[in-house]
Amino acid sequence: MQNFYNKALAGLLGLMLASVLIGWLCLRCTYTRLTLLPAAQSDLKWKSEPSADIMNGGRSTIKLLDDTAALSFEFTSVKAVDYPYARVELAFQDRAGKPMLVDLSRYSAISFEVKCAPANTLALGFMMFEDQVSVPGDFTSYRLPYAYFFCNESGERVVMDLARLRTDQWWYAVHKLNLSRQDYKLEKIAKLSFSSTFQSPYEVLSKVRITEVTLLGRDMGYLYWFGGFMLVAWPAYGVWFFRRHTEALLVEVKDRMRRDIPLVAYQQLSQDLHRDKEQRAILGYLATEYANPDLDAETMVNALGINRNKINEILKAELGYTFSTYLNKLRLTEAARLLGAKEETSVAEIAYAVGYRNVSYFNKLFKEEYGCTPKTFRKLREDTPAEAGG
């Protein structure tokens, strides 16, 4: 059985290690990332497009300085129109360089580093194609949900929740939509933009540098996969363990039965093996009186007239056991025989029949001897009656 337990322990440790490793990998894989900047590391192709209200009669200006390692631009916001603006858009493209819509719905946040001089409040927006509202190519009809962020010369990391973007009321008014229609999905995104706001300083040259633009999300499918692995792997180990344990226990029981054949009380003791008178007396007395619950070393001393030390010396020399150990061997071996031979007899009746008054104590000794309870032993004997019967 020890060999089986070693294998079972190794398998358990291996399964635990695999579970921890796979769980860690699956958890790590749930955190999805999509890089937009630096451009060389971007997972999507895009083209930067600066624009300002000068096209609408305003006087705001913007100049793009870099769009490779960072998105650097400078602008001057002038309040010459009702809604002055200056912005840089990242327009998504396909491999051929044509405008395309990208699905960003798997991402829940956007992260980036930003520096502004002077301090500024800017807006991040997504130009989104809205089914049954937007006209392809007419970006004025696209929805533009956005959120504000603050920046200064010292720079800071900004993380924005993409589920909390807002859409201006004018867009609902122009398209005659109910204001309660606030839900949106980032499934058809044409552009991403960084722009000035009404709190940007007017008629002051503002410089902005944005780096490490990354979309962040969670893919819970990996955790579902891990849950499936756990539901299959651990029950499979449990089934393997109980099946192999039963097989190993059966082999162990057979082996113990074979080794205990010389001790079987119901076999006639060979006089040739025990020619000495005292040996014959001791072994014969134990073979006939083992079922007596009151049998102990003192009773045997009084019955045979052989002192306790001599009894133990003979048993130790002949069979390698002390009196109490040998007596229990005889009783338990006979109990094992009866468990297989008398299927209708209860465990308690067999315990009493071989000399035990306490059934719990009998069960304890039996399990120590055969590695299983009497009930399990009987079931194993039923599976192999011929071999178990010796």
All structural domains of the chain with their residue ranges = 36-219, 260-388
Measured distance CA(100)–CA(92) in Å, rounded? 6
Burial zone of 7 (CB within 10 Å; 0-12 exposed, 13-18 middle, 19+ buried): middle
The amino acid sitting at 56 is N
Specify the pairing of strand 189-195 against strand 120-128: antiparallel
Are 109 and 98 in contact by the 8 Å Cβ rule? The answer is no
Kindly indicate the confidence band of residue 208, based on its pLDDT and cuts at 50, 70 and 90.
very high
Q: Give just the sign of the alpha carbon dihedral 223, 226, 228, 231.
A: negative
Element (H, E) at 192: strand 189-195
> With 90 as the cut, is the pLDDT of residue 73 above it?
yes
Are 191 and 146 in contact by the 8 Å Cβ rule? The answer is no
User: What's the pLDDT tens digit per position in 96-125?
Assistant: 999 999 999 999 999 999 999 999 999 999
> With 50 as the cut, is the pLDDT of residue 265 above it?
no
According to the model, what pLDDT value does residue 284 have? 83
Kindly indicate the confidence band of residue 312, based on its pLDDT and cuts at 50, 70 and 90.
confident
> With 60 as the cut, is the pLDDT of residue 385 above it?
no
Kindly indicate the confidence band of residue 13, based on its pLDDT and cuts at 50, 70 and 90.
very high
Cβ-based neighbour number of residue 215 at 10 Å = 22
Lowest mean pLDDT among 65-79, 197-211, 261-275, 327-341: 261-275
Measured distance CA(166)–CA(172) in Å, rounded? 12
Give percent of the chain with pLDDT exceeding 70: 91
Token pair in block for residue 246 = 């039963």
Q: For the structural domain made of 36-219, what CATH number should be given?
A: 2.60.120.430
Average pLDDT over residues 321-327: 87
Token pair in block for residue 142 = 């696209």
Half-sphere exposure of 331 (CA within 13 A, CB side): 27
Are 207 and 74 in contact by the 8 Å Cβ rule? The answer is yes
Q: Give just the sign of the alpha carbon dihedral 31, 35, 41, 45.
A: positive
User: What's the pLDDT tens digit per position in 352-369?
Assistant: 998 998 999 999 998 888
For the chain, the C-alpha Rg in angstroms (whole number) is 43
Q: Which residues on neighbouring strands pair with residue 205, listed in sequence order?
A: 76
Whether the predicted model's global pTM rises above the 0.75 cut: no
> With 60 as the cut, is the pLDDT of residue 268 above it?
no
**Dihedrals phi, psi of 191, to nearest 5 degrees:** -150, 160
Average pLDDT over residues 144-159: 95
DSSP string for 260-325: TGGG-TTSPPPTTT--SHHHHHHHHHHHHHTT-TT--HHHHHHHH---HHHHHHHHHHHHS--HHH
Lowest mean pLDDT among 48-57, 197-206, 229-238, 271-280: 271-280
Q: Which residues on neighbouring strands pair with residue 216, listed in sequence order?
A: 33, 109
> The tokens 């579970």 sit on which residue?
19
Q: For the structural domain made of 260-388, what CATH number should be given?
A: 1.10.10.60
What mean pLDDT, rounded, does the chain reach? 87
Average pLDDT over residues 1-18: 87
In residues, how long is the chain?
390
DSSP state of 201: P
Average pLDDT over residues 57-75: 96
Half-sphere exposure of 371 (CA within 13 A, CB side): 18
Half-sphere exposure of 319 (CA within 13 A, CB side): 24
Average pLDDT over residues 64-76: 96
CA-nearest of 280, 287, 285, 284 to 266 is 287
> With 60 as the cut, is the pLDDT of residue 329 above it?
yes
**Dihedrals phi, psi of 386, to nearest 5 degrees:** -65, -50
According to the model, what pLDDT value does residue 258 have? 63
Token pair in block for residue 260 = 């205990």
Residue that wins the pLDDT comparison between 85 and 316? 85
| Highest-confidence segment of 132-141, 186-195, 231-240 | 186-195
